[in-house]
Structure 1
Amino acid sequence: MRVAEFDREFVLRQAMLAFTQCGYAKTSMQKLTQVTGLHPGSLYAAFSNKKGVFLAAIEQYQTDKNQQFNAFFCNNAPVLPNLRAYLALVVTECLGGDSMKVCLLTKSITEVEGQDSQISKVLSDNLNAYEQAIAFQLNRAITQHEITPNRSAQQLARFFAMGLYGLRTYALTNNNAKDINQLADDLFSVISN
């Protein structure tokens, strides 16, 4: 049997967009063939089914987001300016017109929770890993005396992650730049004091 050749990252990023725009349940294999440009047989051969495409798209999404996050912290520079720059990127994404301003993980977990335990676990694990990456950086900030250790790095990371998810969700109904920037400033202020 001949193995189909295609740009896997491109295909998965197109699938990410479809799942983000339509949700898991409303994204059909027909929609996935349309957005990826692959024939149905190629999609099935590479990913078995829609769930396989979705899980691979989540993996690619997390890889992309990890690289994006880590790019802000790839040196030993102080953490807080880098965290502020990362938050500014999130604000820019929130104010942008594209569908990626919504976190695919948080959007999907609310849709599939209780319906598919494997998908729910993958999404939850990825969200927990994101929180741990934030906690690692905040722990560095505490160690470097950038933040007063009134709360643990884990507590701060949990609050910061919640704030980011909330900011993205809020931006769906209120795309006012002044409001979004004020919320981001408030979030950063709580973390950095």
Structure 2
Amino acid sequence: MSKEKLLNQGRPRQFEDDEVIDAAVAVFSENGFAGTSAQDLCDGTGLGRGSLYNAFGSKQGLYEQALLRSHEKSMSAQLAILKQSGSAKERLRILLFWGIAEDLEQPEQHDAMVLFSALERGSKDEAVASLNKEYRQRLEKALVSVFTEGQENKEFAKKASAIQMARGFLAGYYGLRVLNKNITDKDVLDDVVAGLLANL
């Protein structure tokens, strides 16, 4: 299902409250799609099963709405970092440490769902794959702008194109986010960040 269809998917007005979808995000982030039951969603959102299914159609429908909400929240935060003033490398450093803080301090928030959706559903679910592709492309476009600026002001060498550097950085960034789920030693994560930035 396309992002436009998800945004325009009709449901009763009383369920337009983002708090309901945010509550579902927390449940899906903790349990994954397969591990989340209808009762888990009822407990997490405070709504009855009939109300949930009337509003969203199915667990899949609610999952897609929750993922879309997570994409919008996460993208807004990341773009705000990449578009702020300061050197290109400093913005990248802030983004990396923002990712660490999000994962370590808020394990059941929007960025966790974005990451888990790619690992759990990315190769199985066309709607999830489509949403994640759009998310990655938007972040990649913002990173290309940062690397282009960095090359123009000679912060970064032109040993690779801006898009190649952006994609290489993305690989390291996503790898760091996965490590965050398995490593709680912040010194190790700080070393990963230092290594990523040293290679630019």
Specify the TM-score bucket, using the shorter chain as the normaliser.
Answer: 0.7 to 0.9
Deviation >6 Å, runs of 4+: none
Q: Which residue of 1 aligns with 2:153?
A: 144
In structure 2, list runs of 5 or more residues that go unmatched: 1-10
* Alpha-carbon separation, structure 2, partners of 1:10 and 1:101: 13
Match 2:190 to one of 159, 181, 184? 181
Distance 1:143 1:56 in 2: 40
Equivalent residue, structure 1, for 2:6 = none
> What code does the residue aligned with 1:8 have?
D
- Matching residue of 1:159: 168
The aligned counterpart of 2:117 is 108
| Counterpart for residue 130 of structure 2 | 121
1:28 deviates by 1.8
Verify the 8 A CA contact 1:95 1:177 in the aligned structure 2: no
Q: Which residue of 1 aligns with 2:55?
A: 46
Q: Distance in 2 between matches of 1:156 and 1:42?
A: 47
- Report the CA distance between 1:55 and its aligned residue: 1.0
Cα drift, residue 187 of structure 1 = 0.9
Would the aligned equivalents of 1:91 and 1:184 in 2 still touch at CA under 8 Å? no
Q: Please give the per-residue CA displacement for 1:99-133, whole angstroms capped at 9, x wherever unaligned.
A: 34964233222322443223222223322332232
CA distance in 2, matches of 1:118, 1:98: 24
Q: 1:55 to 1:186 in 2, by over 3 A?
A: same
Cα distance in 2 for partners of 1:153, 1:31 equals 44
Relative distance call for 1:73 and 1:129 in structure 2 (3 A) is closer
Q: Does the CA-based 8 Å contact 1:84-1:188 persist in structure 2?
A: yes
Deviations 1:59-94 (A, max 9, x none): 111111111012223445432222222222122234
Matched, 1:72 2:81: yes
User: Between the two proteins, what is the percent identity of the paired residues?
Assistant: 25
TM-score, structure 1 length as denominator?
0.85
The RMSD of aligned alpha carbons is 2.4
Q: Which residue of 2 aligns with 1:84?
A: 93
